[in-house]
DNA sequence: CAAAAGGGTGACGTTCGCGTCAAGTTGACG
DNA sequence: CGTCAACTTGACGCGAACGTCACCCTTTTG
């Protein structure tokens, strides 16, 4: 059940960086913060499919304005599908919180977008008028 | 046309902090970065209705993961409604960019919410099973 | 009128999220 | 076998976004 060495395409740190557009420093930093834990062959890091999924979530989280620590909490939630551990319901509750937060953020974002659209519409009108004035001058 | 001393309810720095849940340091910092420019009576700061609107936008922007510098750009856009100045179309273009960015962010957020919902549904099933096992033990 | 409350200006400290060397190791290749 | 590219671990540096502290001024209140 726990996938063995299948078509698992392990990536080196350089390959990871190329794929996600980050620096090695960033990956090592995330590792130090226990956000991504790659396998080791000797001292060399090897990133699994899971690592890639995690990094994707991390970068996504950052774009939403979450801190790395908050993202770490979120990642634990996504782990549940793979490794069901103890403290399940606690993590579950945490996930619910996050969901609420994200839904709240979305509605805020929607409102902000609407406002911005209106401002831009406002702007368009003024631009058109200025164009007319210049055309008639 | 430019509203005079109407029911403009000027607020002191303390009152602003209470209303928005920020510290005086934060407001002075934003002022140093030219995000909010309150009026002065002597040395004392007095925050207008406009200042409040701006602060609201600032805090909103932060939740969306914008930097203060990016937010400053956005604020200039919202100013256009009040003070139509030069460099209008530049700011307008900037606003369009922002709109695109925010719309992109929303669709990302939507996807993330959907994923998270699925994870939580997954979790619920496991929780229910554990409850059944405990009930039958 | 004395003292507390509230506000002001520096200026230095702190945390986060990395960037940037320095110095050593390891694997592949001509 | 050398060397060269890619990797490793520190360690220090840096900009953003404030916190904190010191010290000063004014207003108001018992």
- Of the two residues A73 and B5, the one the predictor is more confident about is A73
Would you say residue A137 has pLDDT above 70? no
- B114–A contact, CB cutoff 8 A: no
Q: Which residue of A has its CA nearest to B106?
A: A106
Would you say residue B134 has pLDDT above 60? no
- B68–A contact, CB cutoff 8 A: no
pLDDT tens, residue by residue, A44-53: 999 999 999 9
Phi-psi region of B128 (alpha: psi -120 to 50; beta: other; left: phi over 0): alpha
Q: How far apart are CA A13 and CA A27, in angstroms?
A: 8
- What's the pLDDT band for A41 if we cut at 50, 70, 90? very high
Where do the domains of chain A lie?
A: 1-75
pLDDT tens, residue by residue, B63-112: 888 899 999 988 877 776 555 554 566 667 777 777 777 778 787 777 77
- What's the pLDDT band for A83 if we cut at 50, 70, 90? low
What Å value separates CA A28 and C1' D12? 17
For the CA atoms of B108, B110, B112, B118, what is the dihedral angle to 10 degrees?
Answer: -150
Q: What are phi and psi of A47, to 5 degrees?
A: -100, 125
Burial tier of A32 (Cβ tally within 10 Å: 0-12, 13-18, 19+): exposed
Would you say residue A68 has pLDDT above 60? yes
Phi-psi region of B41 (alpha: psi -120 to 50; beta: other; left: phi over 0): beta
Counting every residue written for chain A, the total comes to 137
pLDDT at A13 (0 to 100):
97
Q: How far apart are CA B13 and CA B31, in angstroms?
A: 12
Q: Which residues contact A60 (CB under 8 A, 6 or more apart)?
A: B108, B112
Closest CA to A37 of A20, A25, A54, A59: A54
% of chain B at pLDDT higher than 70: 72
pTM equals: 0.70
- Closest CB from B63, B99, B117 relative to A113: B99
Instruction: Decide if A120 and B89 are in contact by the 8 Å CB cutoff.
Output: no
pLDDT at B81 (0 to 100):
56
pLDDT at A88 (0 to 100):
61
Would you say residue A126 has pLDDT above 60? no
Neighbours of A137 (CB within 10 A): 5
- The mean of the pLDDT values for chain B is 78
What is the assigned CATH class of domain B1-75? Answer: mainly alpha
Q: Please give the sequence-ordered ranges of beta strands (E in DSSP) within B3-137, or none if there are none.
A: 39-41, 44-46
pLDDT at B98 (0 to 100):
77
Is the CA virtual torsion A61, A66, A67, A69 positive or negative?
negative
Burial tier of B11 (Cβ tally within 10 Å: 0-12, 13-18, 19+): buried
């Amino acid at each position: 059940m726990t996938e063995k060495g299948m078509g698992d395409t392990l990536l080196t740190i350089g390959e990871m960086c190329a794929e996600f557009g980050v620096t090695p420093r960033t990956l090592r930093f995330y590792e130090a913060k226990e956000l991504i834990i790659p396998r080791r062959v000797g001292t060399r890091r090897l990133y699994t499919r899971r690592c890639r999924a995690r990094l994707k979530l991390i970068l996504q989280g950052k774009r939403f304005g979450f801190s790395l620590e908050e993202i770490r909490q979120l990642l634990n939630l996504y782990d549940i599908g793979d490794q069901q551990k103890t403290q399940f319901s606690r993590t579950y509750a945490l996930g619910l919180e996050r969901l609420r937060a994200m839904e709240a953020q979305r509605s805020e974002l929607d409102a902000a977008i609407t406002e911005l659209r209106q401002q831009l519409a406002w702007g368009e009108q003024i631009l058109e008028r200025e164009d007319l004035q210049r055309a008639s001058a």
